[in-house]
Amino acid sequence: MFSESRTTHPGGKSSVKTYREALNEALRQEMRRDPTVIVLGEEVSGGAGCPGERDAYGGVFGVTKGLLPEFGAERVLDTPISESAIVGAAAGAANNGLRPVAELMFFDFIGVCFDQIFNQAAKFRYMFGGKSRTPMVLRATVGAGFRAGAQHSNMLHPIVTHIPGLKVVLPATPYDAKGLLIQAIRDEDPVIFLEHKLLYDLKGEVPDEPYAIPFGEAAFHREGDDVTIVAISAMLHKALAAADELAKEGISCDLIDPRTTSPLDEEAILESVEVTGRLVVVDEGNPRCGLAADIAALVAERAFHALRAPVRTVTAPHTPVPFAPELEDAYIPSVEKIVAAVREVLEA
């Protein structure tokens, strides 16, 4: 089942694919269509300079598998561990005729290359008076649940959402993964494309043909008029479970996945709250200056008169991501917490 959205999906055949496969297909199809699309990053194929096989990894999560054999080392570049050089190369190349898809492996590594992202790629167009085009994609994995600890489990989407000049995408389904990645590659602006590491094996029906999902268009996953739930990335699935549980009690939720945090489909959220009068925002990121606060503030400012209860945000706590499974599980917003938040806003 496709996520419902204002975008109509393409006709033609479709098949069940994982999120990983959907991403891989998007890359493959765009690389076939457009010879200026290149992929670069650490281990995007794997085996560079080694005595064994090339394409040994195809990305640490296997997303870029098979690209090297098909497109060759000129278009699939395994790089040294030099993230500033990777992002800089992508940004510079994007201004000079390529459409690079750079991979940062874990988005937690943003700290060693943030300048090239936020001061360079993001600002070129504005600083240069509109004359620059930076059609680059920066792919990376985000999120907790992998027992990978404090330096490999962050979301960090609020940090890039904050930055003018960047677009920020967080697909939650295989369908969205393919369509949004194709849009990201075709887009003329720098796009931060964040894949949740717990979603790679998620399956869903995905059209075989290429299709692009426009940015700034939310997907509507459940319709209801008691409460609006906004959830993104892996949290969509927790929110779906919560909505289904609540449905059993006759509570109907309007469940919206913005899919892109920049641009944000403000209208979808505001229109929903106009109807429900109640808002729960679920986000796996940390709370302070986070996405949940951003959306809560939007509603408090622009749909206040429709609000019939306090806004509720369900987020990770203001702590790093802990390693121990018990702690990590408690860190990540749970279905129970979402259900409880919905009940609270209904009772308020």
Ligand X SMILES: Cc1ncc(C[n+]2csc(CCOP(=O)(O)OP(=O)(O)O)c2C)c(N)n1
42 touches ligand X (CB under 6 A)? yes
Per-residue mark of binding to other proteins, 150-179 (x: CB under 8 A) = xxx-----------xx-x------------
Judging by beta carbons within 10 Å of its beta carbon (0-12, 13-18, 19+), is residue 12 exposed, middle or buried? Answer: exposed
Query: How many degrees, rounded to 5, is the angle at CA 171 between CA 340 and CA 197?
Result: 80
DSSP 110: G
Distance from C-alpha of 228 to C-alpha of 230, rounded to nearest angstrom: 6
149, 203, 247, 275: residue in contact with a second copy (rule CB under 8 A): 149
Nearer to other proteins, 64 or 228 (CB): 64
Closest CA to 313 of 199, 230, 203: 230
Other C-beta atoms lying within 10 Å of the C-beta of residue 109 = 18
Which is the catalytic residue, given 9, 152, 157, 196?
Answer: 152
Q: What is the largest CA-CA distance in the chain?
A: 67
Q: Which is nearer to ligand X, 78 or 254 (CB)?
A: 78
Which position among 48, 60, 275, 307 is part of the footprint of a second copy (CB under 8 A)?
Answer: 307
Whether residue 141 contacts residue 198, with contact meaning beta carbons closer than 8 Å, is answered with no
Active site residue 152: yes
Told to check if 85 binds ligand X by CB under 6 A, we report no
The answer to whether the CB of 160 falls within 8 A of the CB of 344 is no
Judged by beta carbon, residue 10 or residue 62, the one nearer other proteins is 62
Phi–psi pair at 201, nearest 5 degrees: -95, 0
* From candidates 71, 109, 124, 331, binder to ligand X by CB under 6 A: 109
Instruction: Please name the residues in contact with 268: beta carbons below 8 A apart, sequence gap of 6 or more.
Output: 217, 218, 220, 256, 258
d(CA 25, CA 43): 18
Interface segment toward ligand X; rule CB under 6 A; list 104-112, 153-161, 272-280, 321-329: 104-112
Binding partner of residue 258 among a second copy, other proteins, ligand X, none, CB cut-off 5 to 8 Å per kind: none
Using a 10 angstrom Cβ sphere, with 0-12 exposed, 13-18 middle and 19 or more buried, the burial of residue 79 is middle
Candidate segments 109-117, 173-181, 287-295, 296-304, binder of other proteins by CB under 8 A = 109-117
Q: Which 262-321 residues touch other proteins, going by CB under 8 A? A: 263, 317-320
Contact 76, 38 (CB under 8 A): yes
Kindly state the smallest distance separating residue 136's Cβ from other proteins, in Å.
Answer: 9
**CA-CA-CA-CA dihedral for 141, 142, 147, 152, to nearest 10:** 80
Asked if 340 touches a second copy (CB under 8 A), the answer is no
Q: How far is the CB of 105 from ligand X (least distance, A)?
A: 5
* Residue 167 binds: one of ligand X, other proteins, a second copy, none (C-beta under 5 to 8 A by kind): other proteins
Task: Determine which residue in the list 19, 61, 109, 211 makes contact with other proteins, applying CB under 8 A.
Answer: 109
Decide if residue 52 touches other proteins (CB under 8 A): yes
Confirm or reject binding of residue 16 to ligand X (CB under 6 A).
no
- Tell whether residue 322 is a contact of a second copy (CB under 8 A): yes
Nearest-CA neighbor of 139 among 176, 175, 109, 97? 109
From the list 316, 269, 318, 276, the residue with the least C-alpha distance to 296 is: 269
Q: Which two tokens stand for residue 5?
A: 């959205």
Burial of 313 (0-12, 13-18, 19+ CB in 10 A): buried
143 binds a second copy (CB under 8 A): no
Q: C-beta of 275: minimal distance to other proteins in Å?
A: 26
Residues engaged in binding ligand X (CB under 6 A): 42, 81, 83, 105, 109, 112
Residues engaged in binding a second copy (CB under 8 A): 84, 108-119, 122-123, 126-127, 149-151, 158-159, 161-165, 261-262, 264, 285-286, 288-294, 296-302, 304-305, 307, 309-313, 317-320, 322-323, 348
Q: Which residues are catalytic?
A: 152
